[in-house]
């Protein structure tokens, strides 16, 4: 297993280079899913100067019993492929239930990811795949100030646990950090402050019958929205993820490539830590136009003058 300490530091590079935060919550089995995972690895290779922070989410995260989960042979070759690329970091998904999940469950989840070393793969039983995890993605964070103490304790725990791996530790409230909790910017590597739909219409399912973009329930993404993440130092520690990148669902009218380029340019101009745009949701269709992994990575690199 390669020592994470030998890798070039992405933490330093990320403050200058806007990376991709890829919520590829897709179980890597079957043609559609492995096509998406293969496209991700190809994009990582196509843009060696672009940081990729890939959320690893097998069935909503720990607790796993056994740990690593018995599904790991399906994942191993892909986690290993990311771990072998200097510009990719794997971050383990942990939900927090609006920052109410018990501290002992949360630290146990962090500890489970931190313990991953090697695994057998789907086609071989040899434990030769490097499945280490570099950081943590805490979902469903509530930044109400009454939960600041708990959020602070949790973020600090993960930062310490993953200090040698280099992180990142990402918090996901999905909305702007509430007044009174700004100190979280000093602790986390990034806070996903805007997680929203591009479309202004409702009706998509992922898969059904989940209403993904309920009318009135969100602010559709616009370049102006990107500018709300805060001042320069807060921007540098913010992430933005936009899903459902189409004009209308029924009939299905995808957004245009020029809109995608314009919107990605607005996000990069903001100097955020990382971002992502996806045509649908997080569990399928990462190769679907216009916001395919290939296209999003190409624009992210081009707009920053990276290879």
Ligand X SMILES: *[C@@H]1O[C@H](CO)[C@@H](O)[C@H](O)[C@H]1NC(C)=O
User: Which member of 124, 160, 205, 256 binds ligand X (CB under 6 A)?
Assistant: 124
Binding of ligand X at residue 182 (CB under 6 A)?
Answer: yes
Give which of 133, 129, 122 is closest to 30, Cα–Cα.
Answer: 122
Q: Is 250 in the site for ligand X (CB under 6 A)?
A: no
* Residue 126 engages ligand X in binding (rule: CB under 6 A): no
Indicate whether 125 belongs to the interface with ligand X (CB under 6 A): yes
Report the distance separating Cα 121 and Cα 32, nearest Å.
19
Number of other CB atoms surrounding residue 153 within 10 Å: 13
Query: What does the per-residue mask of binding to ligand X show for 130-149, with x meaning CB under 6 A?
Result: ----------------xx--
Q: Name which of residues 29 to 58 contact ligand X (CB under 6 A).
A: 32
C-alpha 244/C-alpha 202 separation (Å) is: 10
**Is 249 or 302 the residue whose CB approaches ligand X more closely?**
249
- Helices 103-114 and 148-161 cross at an angle (nearest 10°) of 20
**The one segment of 18-26, 209-217, 228-236, 258-266 that binds ligand X by CB under 6 A:** 228-236
Using CB under 6 A, which of 102, 250, 258, 307 touches ligand X?
Answer: 102
Residue 180 Cβ vs ligand X, minimum distance, rounded to whole Å: 11
User: In terms of C-beta density within 10 A (0-12 exposed, 13-18 middle, 19 or more buried), how is residue 64 classed?
Assistant: middle
Q: Which stretch binds ligand X (CB under 6 A): 100-108, 131-139, 188-196, 256-264?
A: 100-108
**Residue 183 binding ligand X, by CB under 6 A:** no
Other Cβ atoms closer than 10 A to 32: 12
Q: What angle do CA 236, 14, 81 make, to 5 degrees?
A: 140
Rg of the chain, C-alpha, whole Å = 18
Contact footprint for ligand X (CB under 6 A) = 32, 99-100, 102-103, 124-125, 146-147, 150, 182, 231-234, 284-285, 288
């Amino acid at each position: 297993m390669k020592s994470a300490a030998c890798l070039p530091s992405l933490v330093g590079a990320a403050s200058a280079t806007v990376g991709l935060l890829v919520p590829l919550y897709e179980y890597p089995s079957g043609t559609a899913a492995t096509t998406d995972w293969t496209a991700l690895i190809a994009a990582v290779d196509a843009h060696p100067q672009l940081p990729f922070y890939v959320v690893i989410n097998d069935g909503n995260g720990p607790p796993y019993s056994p740990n690593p989960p018995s599904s790991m042979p399906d994942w191993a070759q892909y986690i290993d492929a990311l771990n072998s690329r200097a510009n990719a970091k794997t971050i383990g998904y942990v939900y927090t239930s609006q920052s109410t999940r018990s501290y002992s469950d949360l630290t146990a989840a962090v500890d489970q990811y931190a313990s991953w070393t090697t695994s057998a793969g789907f086609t071989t039983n040899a434990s030769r795949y490097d499945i280490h995890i570099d950081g943590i993605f805490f979902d469903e964070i509530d930044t109400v100030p009454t939960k600041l103490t708990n959020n602070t304790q949790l973020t600090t725990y993960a930062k310490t646990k993953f200090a040698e791996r280099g992180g990142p530790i990402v918090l996901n409230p999905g909305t702007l950090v509430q007044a009174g909790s700004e100190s979280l910017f000093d602790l986390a590597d990034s806070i996903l402050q805007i997680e929203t739909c591009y479309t202004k219409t409702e009706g998509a399912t992922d898969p059904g019958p989940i209403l993904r973009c309920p009318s009135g329930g969100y602010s559709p993404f616009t370049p102006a929205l990107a500018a709300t993440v805060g001042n320069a130092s807060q921007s540098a520690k913010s992430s933005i993820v936009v899903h459902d990148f189409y004009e209308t669902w029924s009939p299905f009218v995808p957004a245009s490539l020029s809109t995608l380029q314009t919107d990605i340019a607005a996000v990069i101009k903001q100097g955020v830590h990382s971002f992502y745009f996806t045509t649908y949701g997080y569990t399928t269709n990462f190769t679907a136009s216009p916001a395919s992994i290939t296209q999003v990575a190409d624009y992210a690199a081009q707009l920053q003058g990276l290879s």
